[in-house]
Amino acid sequence: MASVSVRRTFSPNPHHRSISSPSSLRTRGPTSASIPYHPPLLLRLLIFFFASGIVLGLTVFSSTYEQHPEPEPDREPVIQSDHRPDKLGMKQLNHVPEQKLIIVVTPTYNRAAQAYFLHRLAQTLCLVPPPLLWIVVETGSKTSSETASILRRSGVMYRHICCKHTSGEVKDRGVHQRNKALDLIEHHRLEGIVYFADDDNIYSLELFDRLREIRGFGTWPVAMLTHDKSKAILEGPVCKNGQVIGWHTNEKSKRLRRFHVDMSGFAFNSTMLWDPDKRVHLAWNTIRQLDTVKEGFQETTFIQQLVEDETQMEAVPSDCAKIMNWHLHLDYRDVVYPNGWHLGNNLQPVVPLKL
Ligand SMILES: *[C@@H]1O[C@H](CO)[C@@H](O)[C@H](O)[C@H]1NC(C)=O
Sketch the domain layout of the chain as residue ranges: 2-25+40-95, 102-332
- The 10 Å Cβ neighbour count of residue 107 is 25
Q: Is 331 annotated as a binding residue?
A: no
Name the burial class of residue 105, with classes exposed (0-12), middle (13-18) and buried (19+) by CB atoms within 10 angstroms of its CB: buried
For ligand 1, the distance from its centroid to the CA atom of residue 279, given in whole angstroms, is: 12
User: Side chain identity at 184, as an amino acid letter?
Assistant: L
Give the ligand 1 atom nearest the CA of 275.
4
**What separation in Å is there between the alpha carbon of 102 and the centre of ligand 1?**
12
User: Which residue among 269, 307, 316 has the greatest number of ligand 1 atoms within 8 angstroms of its CB, and so is best to mutate?
Assistant: 269
Task: State residue 167's pLDDT score.
Answer: 60
Query: Is 351 buried (19+), middle (13-18) or exposed (0-12) by CB count in 10 A?
Result: exposed
Ligand 1 residue neighbourhood (C-beta within 6 Å): 100, 191-193, 215, 269, 271, 278
* C-alpha closest to that of 197 among 181, 217, 216: 181
Which ligand 1 atom is the nearest neighbour of the CA of 192?
13
Of the candidates 117, 120, 219, 135, the one whose C-alpha atom is nearest the C-alpha of residue 177 is: 135
What's the confidence (pLDDT) of residue 88?
Answer: 43
Cα of 278 vs centre of ligand 1, distance in Å, is 9
Ligand 1 centroid to residue 268 C-alpha, Å: 10
pLDDT for 339 equals: 82
Distances (CA, A) of 175 to 140, 211, 278: 14, 22, 23
Which residues of the chain carry a pLDDT beneath 50?
1-35, 60-92
- Which CATH number applies to 102-332? 3.90.550.10
pLDDT of residue 342: 81
**Candidates 299, 308, 310, 314; catalytic one:** 299
Q: Say if residues 240 and 319 touch (Cβ distance below 8 Å).
A: yes
- Predicted local distance difference test score (pLDDT) of residue 237: 96
- What local confidence, expressed as pLDDT, does residue 128 receive? 97
- Residue 76 is a catalytic residue: no
